[in-house]
Structure formats: C-alpha cells, structure tokens
Amino acid sequence: MNIPQQVAALGQSLWLDNLSRSLIHDGTLARHIAEHAVTGVTSNPSIFQNALASSPYYAEDLARLKGAESNPERRYEALAIPDIQAACDLLDPVYEQSGGYDGYVSLEVAPRWANDAFKTVEEAQRLATAVKRRNLLVKVPGTPAGVQAFEALTALGINVNVTLLFSLAQTQAIFDAYIRGLTARIRAGIDIRRSRAVASLFLSRVDTLVDAQLDAIGTQEALAMRGKAAVAMARLAYQAYRDTFHGPAFAALAQQGATPQTLLWASTGVKNPAYRDLLYVEPLIGPETINTLPDKTLAALIDHGRPAVHVNEGTDEARAQFDDLARLGIDMEHVGLRLQKDGVDLFETAFGKLLQEAA
C-alpha cells in the first residue's frame, strides 16, 4: 500500500479540499480516488472562485449563460452544480461500498445567510434538490443560526457538512444539534440509517491567531507554545467525539442504526513555513475521522507522510496546554468566536469575487 492507502487502513478518510472542472476533465480527481485513497471532496466559495479564474473549461458555458441567465448567483450555480454532480458520480462507488458512510462531495450555502437559520434551511433544501445526488453534503456554517439550521436539516433528512468550527464549544454544540435532529426524525417515525453529517474543525487558522498572541506576550514560555494550540484542540475535540458518540448520549440512536457525526480536520495546509508541512495531518491520524487536504498537502502526504494512529494520544498534555494558554490570558473560546466571524467574512468576500467572475 502507498502512504494514503495506509492512512485509510488506519480508519481515516482522506478528502480532497479542492474542486474544479479541470480536476474532473483531466482525470486528476479520478486518479486520486483510484490511487491515493481519496474518498470525498470539499468545496467552498474560495475554491470555486479560484476554479472559475484559472480553469479554461468554464469559458464556453459562461458565455452561453451570460445570454440566458441575468442573475450572477444563478449563473455561478449553473457552472458549479455540474462539477458537484460529476464529482458525486465519481465518488458514488465509494458511497455504495461504504454503505453511505463515505464518498461525499460538499457544496456550500451562500455565506450571506450564515446568521439566518430559516434562509439557511431554505437554501440547503434548494441546493440538495438541484444537485439531486445521494452523496451530497450541504455545507452550513457553525454559527448560532447555523446550529439551528443544522438541527432542522438533520430532522428533515438532509445531510450536512457543518463548516467554520474553531473551538471545542462550537464543535460540541454541533454534536448536540445532530443528536437533537436525529431524535426529532425518529419521533416523526422516519428512518435515520442514511442520515450523515460531518463537523469541520479548522486548524491552521487557530495556530495563526494564537501564535500572534503568544508572540505579543513574548516570554520564553509563551514562545515555546507556538504551533501547538490547534493540534491540542483537535485531540480534545476527538475525545469529546468519543465521549458523545460512543457514550450514553448516542446509545439509543445507535441502536436505531444512526451513524455518528464524524470529525473532519479542515484548514490543514500549514500557513507558517517554519512548521512541518504535515503538522495538521500526521498527529491527527486515527479511526472515525476525516482529513480534507489541499492539493499541496496531499502531495506532501503521498511523498513523505508517516502513517500511524496518533489522534488519541496526548489528551492530558492537550488539556495542560489549554490550561497554560488560559493562564497566559489566551481564551480559546474567544479565539474561536473571532475566527468564526472572520471566516464568514472571508467566505463572503470570496463569494462576492466569485459572482464577479460569473458576471
């Protein structure tokens, strides 16, 4: 087995954090699926904005749509949805072989609805209907309104990738919403065995912000803690996942055939060139997890990754690191709130540029 296949054998799904018509047309995505154990795809406004700007395969359709569709957002969707459908079709055998556990492609609700639960539910339903693929995950942000929308969508039977999670409290709120949504679905007498959701916990952005705060403190102790907060957070989140979905809170749902909401490690490309390029990959390999990898990070894993289960290690050390950060005045929940707001703003900006590309 090559390195990605070894990672998959350890129980972690590898998803590609990129999608464009070029990846589909030139066979790159198919090769990743066949050769590198890629079993899913994530997209977001930034990814599609880059795709429209760099791939030559949209020009003909865009020219046609400019004469047929006056709304730039609907024009963008007319370009993006066929890509989502094509990726879903490539991954459908994975979905089938895994019994619906894996093989998903994510498409995001427009970020301007991040603080509107009703509109998020409405838009998620519309997108799910438009894509019409059983292995679609609709991406919904983990904002307070997003938590409400996710619970409602779970009850409705729409599978969701909850994105823009940056803290333990945000992640636990999503776990709890999933349980409430499944419970409501059971009370309505509806089968939950095909319900699926993931919780995308963002990592590199956490270290970027925390490192800046540690640099500002400037003590030897503070500087020695740089580059450690995100992995510590992820390991604590994994323990919370184990406690939630392999504990009494989920036991009755599991007996009904429910699948736990899987943790997905997002933002796994390092932003500090001083850090190992697999900082957010190797320490977080383990069962019942997903890592969504940008192209560069996947290439690094293929080239020199060291597969071994590590995500369940160092939990006590991670708690101690969080205690040390708190003692230095760094509030990780406040970090999470700031990053979530910034994340929504960044996606809104990217979405605006995306609509300009489609104009």
In the prediction, which pLDDT does 53 show?
86
Please list, in sequence order, all residues whose beta carbon lies within 8 angstroms of the beta carbon of residue 249, skipping any fewer than 6 positions away: 179
In this structure, how many other beta carbons lie within 10 angstroms of the beta carbon of residue 70? 9
CA dist., res. 234 & res. 201, Å (int): 8
Q: Is 139 a catalytic residue?
A: yes
Query: What six digits make up the tokens of 80?
Result: 């993006």
Give yes or no for a contact between 163 and 200, defined as CB atoms under 8 angstroms apart.
yes
Query: What six digits make up the tokens of 271?
Result: 């932003």
What are the backbone angles phi and psi of residue 119, rounded to the nearest 5°? -70, -35
What string of DSSP letters covers 225-290?
Answer: TTT-HHHHHHHHHHHHHHHHHTSHHHHHHHHTTPPPPEEEEE--S-SSTTS-TTTTTGGG--TTEE
Whole-model pTM over 0.85: yes
Closest CA to 80 of 31, 45, 125: 45
Residue type, 35: E
Give yes or no for a contact between 165 and 175, defined as CB atoms under 8 angstroms apart.
no
Closest CA to 21 of 109, 90, 67: 90
Tens of pLDDT, residue by residue over 71-120, are 889 999 999 999 999 999 999 999 999 999 999 999 999 999 999 999 99
Query: Strands, DSSP E only, in the chain?
Result: 12-16, 38-41, 104-108, 136-141, 160-165, 197-202, 262-266, 289-293
Residues of the chain with pLDDT under 70: none
Domain locations along the chain: 3-358
* Strand 104-108 versus strand 160-165 pairing type: unpaired
CA dist., res. 4 & res. 307, Å (int): 8
Going 44 to 301 to 87 to 171, the CA torsion angle's sign is negative
Query: What six digits make up the tokens of 48?
Result: 């599609």
Specify the length of the chain in residues.
Answer: 359
In the prediction, which pLDDT does 68 show?
84
Q: Which CATH superfamily is domain 3-358 in?
A: Aldolase class I (3.20.20.70)
Query: What six digits make up the tokens of 292?
Result: 């969504």
Give yes or no for a contact between 332 and 172, defined as CB atoms under 8 angstroms apart.
no
In the prediction, which pLDDT does 66 show?
83
Of the listed 66, 119, 132, 139, which one is catalytic?
139
Going 298 to 25 to 27 to 263, the CA torsion angle's sign is positive
In the prediction, which pLDDT does 163 show?
98
Give yes or no for a contact between 267 and 204, defined as CB atoms under 8 angstroms apart.
yes
Using alpha carbons only, what angle is made at residue 236 by residues 230 and 237, rounded to the nearest 5 degrees? 85
Tens of pLDDT, residue by residue over 284-311, are 999 999 999 999 999 999 999 999 999 9
Closest CA to 161 of 196, 132, 192: 196
CA dist., res. 311 & res. 1, Å (int): 21
In this structure, how many other beta carbons lie within 10 angstroms of the beta carbon of residue 192? 20
CA dist., res. 133 & res. 164, Å (int): 24
In this structure, how many other beta carbons lie within 10 angstroms of the beta carbon of residue 223? 12
